[in-house]
Chain A
Amino acid sequence: GAVVSQHPSWVICKSGTSVKIECRSLDFQATTMFWYRQFPKQSLMLMATSNEGSKATYEQGVEKDKFLINHASLTLSTLTVTSAHPEDSSFYICSAETGLWETQYFGPGTRLLVL
């Protein structure tokens, strides 16, 4: 089946630094990629939707200047957490789909710890 990878799988950084997370669809072209955040109580929140070549659509309450998303190609989307703070520590998951409301394929997630 379709595979989505994320890199890195985990990262520890100092407060104030920026962290980039990559999401790649390995064997298919993804028209749309999604970024989610998983909170300690394990609920998921959709952060943004990105389409190749266009600006990401952010969900209400998500700071677009803090969570920069770049969908550079049909197989790569990146999430950059800028000036990270401890409250940004979380589990970030990306997913990719080949068409509107087609099956979403999820990456393994990236655990971010900001000290």
Chain B
Amino acid sequence: DAKTTQPPSMDCAEGRAANLPCNHSTISGNEYVYWYRQIHSQGPQYIIHGLKNNETNEMASLIITEDRKSSTLILPHATLRDTAVYYCIVKSAGNKLTFGGGTRVLVKP
């Protein structure tokens, strides 16, 4: 599975949009981009995933570049409860989820 690169940390103001970048320049054609987050002392929580089209659900939006070498997770109106570590993972069906270091997001009032 392709490796991903994320910034180790970022701050965000409460009520503003949080844009979390992820680079996956070695992604292959059958690999999906998944985003999870982990709030302190809880299990990883699935947020969203996509192949090449942009996706939106009740939690977030996922924007994947046309060449699929990078993506951005958008939390449209960050709240204090969105403070967590966010993981960007690339994998194909039947393969394992491999977690990297993620981005530690701190939402500030």
Say whether A and B bind each other. no
- The chain A residues found within 8 Å of chain B, CB to CB, are none
